[in-house]
């Protein structure tokens, strides 16, 4: 986390809270789920749901974050992880809405959201930074998967 890309993380997490997240990794608890993105037994990144500290999420809404090692970006792994995790949240976690902020300058991530079928919602300011929000609803996801 200390070496994370500043586009991917707003600020370093509290160490105690981060260790607690690691202990429950792989388990959905109160809107939080942390997973590794695995490629042939090697972790190449992370994907998670989280609850923003600045605003509550409505029931059935999950906020997602994703990060890949720099040498694994641009190869389709992020797109695949985003699609698989989005599908899992709708199928198994009771999601009605899945959303994710990204840095406005992160063209690669914005392209991934577009390709996977998420919609641009607009700008949002959190933790003293401007982000852009993307979102997909259950009906949008279901319709996209049927076509």
Mind listing the pLDDT tens digit for each residue in 21-63?
A: 666 667 888 899 989 899 999 999 999 999 998 889 999 999 9
Per the structure, the complete domain to which residue 71 belongs is given by: 15-146
Give residue 131's Cα distance to chain centre: 13
Residue 82 belongs to a domain with what CATH number?
3.40.630.30
Determine, yes or no, domain membership for 87: yes
Determine, yes or no, domain membership for 122: yes
- State the pTM of this model: 0.83
Rounded to 5 degrees, φ, ψ at 80 are -65, -45
Determine, yes or no, domain membership for 113: yes
Determine, yes or no, domain membership for 139: yes
pLDDT at 73: 93
Tell me the per-residue pLDDT of 113-124, one tens digit each, with 9 for 90 and over: 999 999 999 999
Q: Where are the beta strands (DSSP E) in 13-128?
A: 33-39, 42-50, 61-68, 97-102, 119-126
Residue 17 pLDDT > 80: no
- Tally of domains within the chain: 1
Neighbouring C-alpha atoms within 13 Å toward the C-beta of 116: 27
pLDDT at 26: 74
Instruction: Identify the band that residue 2 occupies on the pLDDT scale cut at 50, 70 and 90.
Output: very low
Determine, yes or no, domain membership for 6: no
Determine, yes or no, domain membership for 9: no
Q: Residues 141, 117: contact at Cβ < 8 Å?
A: yes
pLDDT at 53: 85
Tell me the per-residue pLDDT of 65-114, one tens digit each, with 9 for 90 and over: 999 999 999 999 999 999 999 999 999 999 999 999 999 999 999 999 99
Residue 7 pLDDT > 50: no
Determine, yes or no, domain membership for 4: no
Tokens representing 105 are 């300058």
- In this structure, the strands spanning 61-68 and 97-102 are parallel
- CA dist 73 and 79 (Å) reads 10
Tokens representing 24 are 């429950």
Determine, yes or no, domain membership for 39: yes
């Amino acid at each position: 986390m200390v070496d994370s890309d500043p586009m991917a993380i707003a600020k370093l997490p509290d160490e105690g809270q981060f260790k607690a997240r690691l202990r429950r990794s792989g388990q959905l608890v109160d809107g939080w789920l942390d997973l590794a993105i695995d490629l042939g037994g090697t972790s190449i990144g992370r994907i998670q749901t989280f609850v923003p500290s600045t605003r509550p999420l409505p029931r059935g809404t999950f906020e997602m974050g994703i990060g890949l090692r720099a040498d694994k970006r641009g190869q389709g792994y992020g797109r695949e992880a985003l699609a698989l995790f989005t599908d899992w949240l709708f199928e198994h976690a009771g999601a009605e809405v899945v959303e994710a902020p990204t840095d406005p300058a992160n063209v690669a991530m914005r392209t991934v959201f577009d390709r996977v079928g998420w919609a641009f919602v607009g700008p949002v300011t959190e933790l003293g930074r401007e982000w852009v929000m993307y979102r997909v609803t259950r009906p949008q996801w279901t319709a996209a998967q049927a076509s």
